[in-house]
A and B are shown apart, each in its own frame.
Chain A
Amino acid sequence: MNSAFTIMVRIVLGGLFLISGIAKILDPIRFLFTLRAFRLLPGILEPFLALFLPWFEVVLGLFIMLGLFLRTCSLMLGCLNFLFMMAIVSVMLRGFEIDCGCFGLLADILPIPDMADYKAVVRNLILIGMSAYLYRSQGTLFSADRLLMHRGGGRKSA
């Protein structure tokens, strides 16, 4: 039961980041404008981050779904979500009304709330909670980590 729940969390969290990363990759310039609207980073960094961040989300999402480097990926994803949340809080405190850019193109296609407001903060808190849950889980069924562990002679990594 516990393992099934962990697999479900893996699929939901990984799938969410995989899809939102792909949506941003399909329109990186839109994501660049979103980053600029936050006015948090030096201008020279923004284009590179607009290229790097969506791929980072895709890789982390894919690895979490596959269960590869699960604890490291969940820790990195938790930190990434914390940074996103801090950026949104800073925007709210400064009184800007902008898109959070969380779902890229998907926000146009599907009726997803995509504003940088308290809802986005709550969403990020839930995602941080899911990441923390995965970080604490001791390996799950159908994970690449478990496969690698068996191949390596059953040595316990944790």
Chain B
Amino acid sequence: MPMKKMITEAFIILLITALLTLAYCVVSPLGRILLKKGLRITTSAATPGMVEGRYGI
């Protein structure tokens, strides 16, 4: 398989993924929360308890 064709296919796959991710961030509240508050979550919150309790967000 020519390398050029493979790179084109990989680019298409990444583009589709990026578009789906973007659409998810726009449509889903969870996606929006993750984008807005994700950066503010501290590493220390990464415990099972916090995960069960809806992450303390």
Which residues in A have some Cβ–Cβ distance to B below 8 Å? 25, 27-30, 32-34, 36-37, 39, 43-44, 46-47, 50-52, 55-56, 58-60, 63, 69, 71-73, 75-76, 157-158
Contacts and interface: CB of A to CB of B under 8 A. Distances in A.
A140 B31 CA distance: 37
Interface in B14-57: 14, 16-18, 20-21, 24-25, 30-31, 33-35, 38-39, 41, 43, 45-46, 50-51, 55, 57
B38 A75 contact: no
B6 A72 contact: yes
A50 B21 CA distance: 10
Given A32-B41, A158-B1, A47 B35 contact: yes
Nearest to A60: B13
Given A33-B50, A43-B43, A76 B13 contact: yes
A25 B30 CA distance: 9
B34 A28 contact: yes
A47 B13 CA distance: 21
B9 A69 contact: yes
A33 B45 contact: yes
Given A33-B46, A55-B24, A28 B13 contact: no
A36 B57 CA distance: 16
Contacts of B31: 28, 51
A55 B31 CA distance: 12
A59 B10 CA distance: 11
